[in-house]
Chain A
């Protein structure tokens, strides 16, 4: 007799769910651009107020020291249907905000570590971090200026990622390319039980 149909919103048996993916990498590598390329909304902006515990050495010389500061958190959203969303969080670039990463990483599906071929080493801290936390990640190498001549295998070796994480060349400004990166991450992170092994 449809006893559950009295109130709209409770008829759907599937609970609402928001999936969280982190976009990490060095400063200025294109995290915000990536989020903006794929998000259905202009990246939303919120802030976390910091007490002194988050504040270490600030290498932005010339900036006055503060006792309270804020860390901006930009995130994008993709709605698959009412009650199923994917959220993309760009991680704060500076190391002094590591504690924010802890918070972001809890319960996340996985992470995209963005790398820049000109400064590959800047993605090492993120790689180390996710490896230690056991959070699945893929490394996406943003090929600026259409620098498609890079060899993913060489980059994978250079980063010591053989057998550790998939590596994908991408262009963070290109929607199809960002879709590729995200589908690769989803498949890599949670797809294994559902993808039947290829039969020879």
Chain B
């Protein structure tokens, strides 16, 4: 009726088995994802999983993973939740900025901004 192509959406949710929410504990947009294990059968993983494991060999925030995968955030999150369940990545716990920022970080950020 509307002429909307449902294709991309169907494909996207195909990546997640139709799920719109990730498994397990919620995680923030800038939570740091780190690949912790490379012991897996490549054949059991979809290409997107392998890409995430490759990106996150260097600790990488969720939003950056989504942008690099070129996938919507919630799809990315489902993928990340699955990888976490399988013990292949860790996702750090959200931490309020005011608690996480000590004087050293504070100075580093200010200095970093000023010298941009």
Contact = CB atoms under 8 A, between A and B. Distances in A.
Given A19-B97, A104-B29, A70 B113 contact: no
A96 interface: no
Interface in B38-75: 57-59, 61, 63-64, 66-67, 71-75
Contacts of A106: 28, 94
B78 to A, nearest CB: 11
Interface in B1-28: 2, 4, 9, 12, 20, 28
Contacts, number: 125
Contact of A66 (B4, B63, B64, B103): B4
Q: Which interface residue of A80, A179, A193 has the most chain B CB atoms within 10 A?
A: A80
A191 B29 CA distance: 24
A115 to B, nearest CB: 21
Given A85-B61, A107-B95, A78 B116 contact: yes
A78 B112 contact: yes
Contacts of A87: 29-30, 61, 63
Given A85-B30, A186-B113, 9 more contacts: A44-B67, A46-B66, A47-B72, A48-B72, A49-B9, A64-B2, A84-B112, A103-B29, A183-B114
